């Protein structure tokens, strides 16, 4: 079983534009391509884990997310980076769209998406990392059994503490996160 790096999308991989599904407005952070390339070359699987409450709130249809994932993939192709999966939560307990306005187990800070991805992709969570820009990402990763990295870009505004909300390390960029992970060991259980 391989380790993975689970990555939050908005504010971590791409500049945060709230509820955006317009491919023309998706902008990778400048260091994302090389950071992810290094992780993938070290044997880590790369999986996006994203809350997409815009579906539950009625801001866009769930099918609009297909273009988002395609655009992310296209923007990383020049680096030779491919994602192993895209997992998202379309729910929100205060949503307005029937069927999506629920309190689910997949919405971060709950670990459901990470656990689902791990089962489907045969990922060893004890050898994995969750990287995100807010403490809900950290909590989801810690609850799933991953090590965690907070990329502090100033997006965390609440700073609500708790037993699951302390990251393994805090950094200021995705490249710094990748460097830290790579300094800890390879992404495969046999060290290759």
CA distance 65 to 54: 10
Give the per-residue pLDDT at 9.
97
**Within a 10 A sphere around the Cβ of 175, how many other Cβ atoms?**
19
Q: What was the pLDDT predicted at 188?
A: 47
User: pLDDT averaged over consecutive 10-residue blocks of the chain (192 residues)?
Assistant: 93 96 97 97 97 97 97 97 98 96 96 98 97 98 98 92 95 97 67 35
DSSP annotation of 152 reads: -
The one catalytic residue in 10, 31, 124, 190 is: 10
Q: What confidence score (pLDDT) does residue 185 get?
A: 64
**10 catalytic, yes or no?**
yes
74: annotated active-site residue: no
Residue burial 52-85, b: 16+ Cβ < 10 Å; e: rest: bbbbbbebbeeebbeebbebbeebbeebebebbb
Which domains can be identified in the chain, with CATH numbers? 4-53+68-88+104-184 (3.40.50.1000)
The pLDDT score that the predictor gives to residue 169 is 97
- Name the catalytic one among 8, 66, 74, 190: 8
CA gap 190, 82 in Å, rounded: 22
147 exposure class (CB count in 10 Å sphere: 0-12, 13-18, 19+): buried
In three-state secondary structure terms, 157 is coil
How many CB atoms within 10 Å of residue 113? 25
């Amino acid at each position: 079983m391989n380790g993975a790096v689970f990555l939050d999308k908005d504010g971590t991989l791409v500049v945060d534009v709230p509820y955006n599904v317009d491919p023309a407005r998706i902008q990778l952070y400048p260091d994302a391509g090389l950071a992810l390339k290094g992780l993938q070359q070290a044997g880590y699987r790369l999986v996006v884990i994203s809350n997409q409450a815009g579906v539950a709130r009625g801001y866009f249809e769930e099918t609009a997310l297909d273009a988002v994932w395609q655009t992310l993939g296209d923007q990383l192709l020049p680096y030779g980076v491919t994602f192993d999966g895209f997992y998202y939560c379309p729910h929100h307990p205060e949503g307005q769209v029937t069927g999506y306005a629920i309190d689910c187990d997949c919405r971060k800070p709950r670990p459901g998406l990470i656990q689902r991805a791990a089962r489907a992709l045969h990922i060893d969570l004890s050898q994995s990392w969750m990287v995100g820009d807010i403490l809900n990402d950290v909590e989801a990763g810690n609850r799933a059994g991953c090590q965690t990295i907070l990329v502090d870009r100033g997006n965390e505004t609440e700073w609500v503490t708790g037993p699951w909300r302390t990251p393994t390390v805090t950094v200021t960029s995705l490249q710094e996160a990748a460097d830290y992970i790579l300094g800890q060991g390879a992404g495969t259980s046999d060290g290759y």
